[in-house]
Amino acid sequence: MASIQTFIQANSMEEVVEILQSDRSAAIIGGGAYLRLGKKRISKAINIQKLGLNAIEKTQEGYRIGAMVTYGDLERMPGNVFDGFRRAVRDNVGVQLRNMVTVGATVFSRYGFSDLNTMMMALGATVEFAQMGTMPIEDYFSMERPMRDFLIAVNIPGDVEVTAFHALRLTTTDYAILNVAAVQRDGRWRVAVGGRPGRACLCMEAAEQLENGHIYQAATALAEKLTFGTNRLAREDYRKCIAPGVLRRALEEVGVHGG
Amino acid sequence: MEVNLIINKKPRTVHIRPDETLIETLRGLGLNGVKQGCDTGSCGVCTVHMDGKAILSCTQLTAMAEGRGITTIEGVQQQAEQIGQYLVAEGVEQCGYCSPGTVMSILYLESCIADPSDDDILHYLNGNLCRCSGYEGQLRAIRTYLEAKRNESDR
Amino acid sequence: MKVIGKAIPKLDGLQLVKGQPAYTADFTPTDALVVKVLRSPYAFARIAEIHTEIAEKVPGVVCIFTWKDVPRVPFTRAGQCYPELSAYDTFILDKYVRHVGDHVAIVAAETEEQANKALRLIKVEYDVLDPVLNYESAGIHRNRVHPESDLTTHMDVGCDPETNTACKVSFAVGDMEKVKDHAEIVFTHRYEVQAQVQNMLETQRTWTRLDPYGRLEVVTSTQIPFHVRRILARALDIPAARIRVVKPRIGGGFGSKQTAASEFYPALVTLKTGRPAQIVYTRKEAFESTSTRHKMRFNVTLAADQSGKIRGLDMEGLSDTGAYGEHALTTFGAAGKKVLTLYNKVDALRFDGKAMYTNNSPGGAFRGFGVTQGTFAVESAINELAQRLNMDPVQVRRINHIQQGEEHPLYNLTTKGWGDKPMPMKSCLLSQCIETGAQAFGWTSKPRRRVLPNGKVRGTGMAIAQQGSGLPKIDMAAATLKLEPDGHFTLLTGSTDIGTGSDTVMSQIAAEGLGVPMDAIVIRAADTDNTPYDSGAYASSTTYTTGNAIREATRLMVDKIVEVGALYFDTAVEHVGYAEGVLYNTKSGERCQLQDFASTVLYNRIHQQLSVTGSYVPELVAPPYMAGFAEVEVDPLTGKVDMIEFVGAVDCGRPLNPHLAKIQTEGGIAQGVGLALFEQVTVNEKGQMTSNNLMQYKIPARRDIGRIRAIVLDGHDESGPYGAKSIGEVVINTVAPAITEAIHAALGVRIRTLPATPEKVMMALGNQES
């Protein structure tokens, strides 16, 4: 269990930023799901619940998802784009944990095992920070370390044609051994792979093949173009071996079949 | 630090450590129906409701629950008795350790979905592990309970 | 039958569902000290220096104990009757730590925070030793897991610490070499069953206090209260008369609580400080510091004729007992004798092997108790025989399995006190299990392999198994019945309901035998001060062994009622009758309700407490049987195996409570699915468990098991109470071999090392293709 010295109820974004900058061992508390598992010593735990970041707002582009929105909130939203989230988070432990885990903490922490992050990547989400402003999620995910900044919200497009997702996991409540998300928007595809076990990344070649309607080539591209690794859940060669199959299963589930 | 909670509809002010989890607070108040099963948010045994939503009290920081309404099995004794009749009729409470959490999830399912299918039951309860029953009989019991309730409200 | 065979709800069920106080930690004394144990981070080390001075200064810390402060008495934590077959190789605390999670020091403090702080401040210097992690090479490792000179055994079990050998098991029937030389088909394969963790949802926990007489009261989540009393007395070096062990409701056991674990630490603290003390094991401690299913591997050689008749079965095996030899011999022996006895048409059988000490977490008891491991090996081999012969696996069983009324020489060899006389399996319904199960499953109508439009492939498989019902001439039970003034009975039993509903079933037996309704029986169980002796809830013994003791007690009570009834009616005993709660004077025609009789004999005249005790120990084996049928769906793109359905048909004699018997079956199948597909203890090169929590070690959730259908046959065994045999363990045994056979049917790959993870299936598929 992490230890916490004091709790601070934040009243403004500025206050949060100021605390984060002045105290290296201060931390924002999201859903708190991983606090128990670590031994982190947190001097100031910042509660951002009163900053109005628990809403999903319709924007011109699509939706702005506040940092404190939970997986459960996403699951309960109607609409095509949220179908993708439903598929992505459906098997994340249980309904109780999904009512606690926040979008902000997941994206900010860039968890490699995360199913949500893979879907966010495929959607082409942008990440909104209090200081640094907005950046594409792939830029944030390719940075060397997480920002010492306050992630306020994640923006996603609203008009998508297809949101496919499939994860291979040992049991329905386990971490994904590998997950693949594929999103089609204006005829263009974005294909993301997570649980490699590294952070979710895009596969441009697979997206191009999909645009040409070549599902098998797209699937093969995942194995050929991406790098995989070994961890507790599976070995590198196995991940590489099944990546094409996971994409095919993802597309099948949303009725995309092809040659 | 001090936190104000509404526990089973009663306002309570409790002294807590900043890193205290809700289950510690609740069991500390004698609400022993809330059980601890894992230490990783994996088993669902500690399920309670916070503002009507099912959450894991082993993972929820009490400090983050300021002002929230918490419902434990002690706060839903009548419903637990009703659901319990069906679980017990099938013999699927078995050791009973996971039962209070399971009841809290069944109540949450009912609050979210008007007429839950078998798939809904399995989906909403997948986070409630049971090592004794093999689940199949629990599905029978829950299905029968929901049917009986539906018949009751039809009348 | 009034209550036997009825689906009576568990007597405690509703209270448990409602979350009413019932379990150990619901009754913790308010001023109990919090006890924590410092655990070894190393798989094998000698404690060179240990300093507690700084930790002791933490405010609120009451005491800290290291190996220097405790009695050095070797003992075993294994819950077995005395003299135990497990070596005395354990100490409350020792200079050596033999696995990650082994105990180093004990801390007691006013609060958990203070105890945890003190744990961090204990300074330990370890001489880290090269750990013995591989059981195959443990015998030639340069280190001995047990270098101490005071390790003892009660009898020759083949224990040889010099070669890290905990015990040896060897038995044979017939001339195996000759059979191998002459059989038409002979093949050998290696099968391995992983260490599996019981993962009952309530971890081990215990609180202790001194009672007003200065005796140690131990309230604990255990399956073996009487063994715990004896083990604690030895380990703490105090008379058993100074210890009372009480078991409240417990949140599951599955064997994990057949080994003492959490009891020692608070007991020591209370004895030394006089204060109440409690320890609640973390899930990590439950994983690392208690016991798992023994990892075992077997080289099975099967000799058969082209006709499908099995000529010989030869098991050469190895068991990983980890750091301590708890249940090493008994689980390993069971893997042979309760598996090979399924097949009695053979010319030769042989079992040979040993259990090795390693620096892994100890092996122990887990539902199935070695039989699960042995069944996987032998049933897999028999499925491979069917494949070689292109024969239906069901048909191969029909040709070879033991039938009703038949015998097996191995029973004579392995049943204590039985001798050479025949022991026919009078109640064996194995044939019916196979045929009924096959019918319900649709074995003949379903194709063995079916490719779905999406490319996934379904396959079917099956296996058979048995278990025991108690341990003949070893584990006994006693039950006391007391007639109360208003005509109800108090049933005192030492048996341990671990969530199965056995208290309810025991009450049913008492009610039936006394001819009274269920509410006329008040059961009190599992309290060493107040209930008669019972070996405990293990070896599938409660219904059969304790049930028989209660059945005997009811007979004695009826005799007693008649005897005192003669005084009551002032007539001769032969003129008194008793049935259904009424006493009769057959001479005068007088009748008396039990409640009037009870009131009169206690309050008004005669003045006698009617109280009887029945005892029972099994004499013969009364195995329950099961046939299991699995359908799986395998994705050839990923190797993922999804359960579609599992049908289990069980012969448990007469099901005394059909619902509870059915749930035992469904629950056992679900745990078997976990064993077959998901669960495994993984250990890194340093001997650290890398799956020591429920986030990483996956037990099945409800969407992981497909559909389970349990069929409980209506059998009858004349040696059992009202015809009952056991059910608790047999139900897990067929699952893994049936599932791996189904995977083979689907994809043609044979998984011989459990669990059948997607990676293993996929890699096997790759090897097969290349």
Q: How far is CA A102 from the centre of its chain?
A: 10
Indicate if the pLDDT at residue C83 is higher than 80. Answer: yes
CB spacing of A232 vs C637 below 8 angstroms: no
Q: How far is CA C683 from the centre of its chain?
A: 24
Asked if residues C246 and C226 have their Cβ atoms less than 8 Å apart, the reply is no
A146 — pLDDT class (breaks 50, 70, 90): confident
Report the C-alpha gap between C609 and C555 in whole angstroms. Answer: 17
Residues in CB range of B39: below 8 A, 6 or more apart: A36, B58, C282, C283, C284, C693
Mean pLDDT to the nearest integer, C402-418: 95
Report the C-alpha gap between A228 and A226 in whole angstroms. Answer: 7
Neighbours of C498 (CB within 10 A): 32
Residues in CB range of B94: below 8 A, 6 or more apart: B130, B132, B133, C10, C252, C499, C500, C501, C663, C667
C292 — pLDDT class (breaks 50, 70, 90): very high
Mean pLDDT to the nearest integer, B140-153: 95
B101 touches chain C (CB under 8 A): no
Q: What is the pLDDT of residue C23?
A: 98
The amino acid at residue C403 is: Q
Task: List CB contacts (< 8 A) between B40 and chain C.
Answer: 283, 693-695
C769 — pLDDT class (breaks 50, 70, 90): low
Q: What is the pLDDT of residues C155-191, one digit of tens each?
A: 999 999 999 999 999 999 999 999 999 999 999 999 9
What DSSP element (H or E) covers C557? helix C547-569
Which among C337, C338, C339, C350 is positioned nearest to C311, based on CA atoms?
A: C350
Q: Is the dihedral of CA C653, C658, C660, C661 positive or negative?
A: positive
Report the C-alpha gap between B64 and A4 in whole angstroms. Answer: 12
Name the interface residues of A facing B (CB cutoff 8 Å). Answer: 1-7, 9, 29, 31-33, 35-37, 42, 45, 47, 49, 72, 76, 90-91, 93-97, 99-100, 172-173
Distance to chain C for B10, nearest Cα, Å: 19
Q: What is the pLDDT of residue C702?
A: 97
C-alpha separations of A86 from A105, A110, B70, C388, C542 in Å: 18, 19, 27, 47, 47
Mutate to test the interface with C, among A113, A241, A257 (most CBs of C within 10 A): A241
Q: What is the pLDDT of residue C212?
A: 97
Indicate if the pLDDT at residue C397 is higher than 60. Answer: yes
Which strands sit side by side in the sheet containing A41-47, from one edge to the other? A3-9, A41-47, A26-29
Which strands sit side by side in the sheet containing C611-616, from one edge to the other? C521-525, C489-493, C477-483, C611-616
Q: How far is CA C477 from the centre of its chain?
A: 17
C770 — pLDDT class (breaks 50, 70, 90): low
Helices (H), B54-98: 77-90
Residue written as tokens 């390790």? C151
Structure tokens at C129: 């030793």
Asked if residues C349 and C173 have their Cβ atoms less than 8 Å apart, the reply is yes
A38 — pLDDT class (breaks 50, 70, 90): confident
Pairing of strands B53-56, B47-50: antiparallel
Structure tokens at B1: 């630090």
Among candidates A171, A177, A238 on the partner chain, residue whose Cβ is nearest the Cβ of C763? A238
Q: What is the pLDDT of residues C236-267, one digit of tens each?
A: 999 999 999 999 999 999 999 999 999 999 99
Task: List CB contacts (< 8 A) between B21 and chain A.
Answer: 36
Q: What is the pLDDT of residue C758?
A: 98
Asked if residues C656 and C722 have their Cβ atoms less than 8 Å apart, the reply is yes
Report the C-alpha gap between C735 and C666 in whole angstroms. Answer: 11
Which among C330, C371, C345, C333 is positioned nearest to C625, based on CA atoms?
A: C371
Indicate if the pLDDT at residue C386 is higher than 90. Answer: yes
Q: What are phi and psi of B75, to 5 degrees?
A: -90, -5
C-alpha separations of A243 from A111, A240, A249, C126, C762 in Å: 19, 5, 10, 45, 12
Instruction: Find the Cα–Cα–Cα–Cα dihedral C111, C117, C118, C119, rounded to 10°.
Output: 110
Asked if residues C274 and C108 have their Cβ atoms less than 8 Å apart, the reply is no
Report the C-alpha gap between C628 and C630 in whole angstroms. Answer: 7
Which among C385, C368, C449, C370 is positioned nearest to C626, based on CA atoms?
A: C368
Q: What is the pLDDT of residues C429-447, one digit of tens each?
A: 999 999 999 999 999 999 9
Radius of gyration of chain C (CA): 27
Q: What are phi and psi of C122, to 5 degrees?
A: -75, 125
Which among C463, C466, C467 is positioned nearest to C382, based on CA atoms?
A: C463
Q: How far is CA C101 from the centre of its chain?
A: 23
ipTM exceeding 0.95, yes/no = yes
Q: What share of chain B is helix, strand, coil (3-state, %, to 5)?
A: 45, 15, 40
Per DSSP, which regions of chain B are E strands?
2-7, 10-15, 47-50, 53-56, 69-71
Q: How far is CA A70 from the centre of its chain?
A: 12
Among chain B residues, the shortest Cα distance to A89 is held by B123
Q: What are phi and psi of C326, to 5 degrees?
A: -65, 120
Mean pLDDT to the nearest integer, C465-483: 97
The amino acid at residue C498 is: I
Query: Reduced to 3 states, what is the DSSP secondary structure of residue C647?
Result: strand
Q: What is the pLDDT of residue C722?
A: 98
Which among C79, C3, C91, C1 is positioned nearest to C517, based on CA atoms?
A: C3
Residues in CB range of A74: below 8 A, 6 or more apart: A56, A65, A82, A85, A86, A89, A103, A116
Q: What is the pLDDT of residues A188-245, one digit of tens each?
A: 999 999 999 999 999 999 999 999 999 999 999 999 999 999 999 999 999 999 999 9
Indicate if the pLDDT at residue C573 is higher than 60. Answer: yes
Query: Reduced to 3 states, what is the DSSP secondary structure of residue C235?
Result: helix
CB spacing of B136 vs C707 below 8 angstroms: yes
Pairing of strands A201-202, A188-194: antiparallel
Report the C-alpha gap between B139 and C442 in whole angstroms. Answer: 23
Which among C630, C628, C627 is positioned nearest to C742, based on CA atoms?
A: C630
C763 touches chain A (CB under 8 A): yes
Neighbours of chain C (3+ CB pairs under 8 A): A, B
Q: What is the pLDDT of residue A37?
A: 80
Mean pLDDT to the nearest integer, C202-230: 98
Instruction: Find the Cα–Cα–Cα–Cα dihedral C109, C110, C116, C119, rounded to 10°.
Output: -10
Helices (H), C203-337: 225-236, 264-273, 283-288, 328-337
Distance to chain A for C241, nearest Cα, Å: 41
C690 touches chain A (CB under 8 A): yes
Which among C668, C665, C661 is positioned nearest to C720, based on CA atoms?
A: C661
Report the C-alpha gap between C731 and A153 in whole angstroms. Answer: 51
Q: What is the pLDDT of residue B39?
A: 87
Intra-chain end-to-end CA distance of chain A, in Å:
51
Radius of gyration of chain B (CA): 16
- What angle do the packed helices A215-225 and A204-211 form, to 10 degrees? 170
Report the C-alpha gap between A127 and A141 in whole angstroms. Answer: 10
Q: What is the pLDDT of residues C126-145, one digit of tens each?
A: 999 999 999 999 999 999 99
Report the C-alpha gap between C289 and C292 in whole angstroms. Answer: 9
- Categorise residue B94: left if φ over 0, alpha if ψ from -120 to 50, beta otherwise: left
pTM over 0.80: yes
Which among A171, A196, A236, A199 is positioned nearest to C691, based on CA atoms?
A: A171
Task: List CB contacts (< 8 A) between C700 and chain B.
Answer: 135
Which among A67, A66, A71 is positioned nearest to A96, based on CA atoms?
A: A71
Mutate to test the interface with A, among C640, C688, C767 (most CBs of A within 10 A): C640
Q: What angle do CA C279, C280, C284 make, to 5 degrees?
A: 125
Among chain C residues, the shortest Cα distance to A247 is held by C637
C-alpha separations of C253 from B132, C200, C417 in Å: 9, 6, 30
Please give the full DSSP string across chain A, using - where no structure is assigned. Answer: --EEEEEEE--SHHHHHHHHHH-TTEEEESS-TTTTT---EEEEEEE-GGGS-S-EEE-SSEEEEETT-BHHHHHT--SHHHHHHHHHHTTSS-HHHHTT-BHHHHHHHT-TT-HHHHHHHHHT-EEEETTTEEEEHHHHHHSSS--SS-EEEEEEES--SEEEEEEEESSTTSPEEEEEEEEEETTEEEEEEE-SSSS-EE-HHHHHHHHTT-HHHHHHHHHHHS-----SS--HHHHHHHHHHHHHHHHHHTT----
Asked if residues C605 and C707 have their Cβ atoms less than 8 Å apart, the reply is no
Mean pLDDT score of chain C, rounded to an integer?
97
Which among C731, C143, C690, C212 is positioned nearest to C437, based on CA atoms?
A: C731
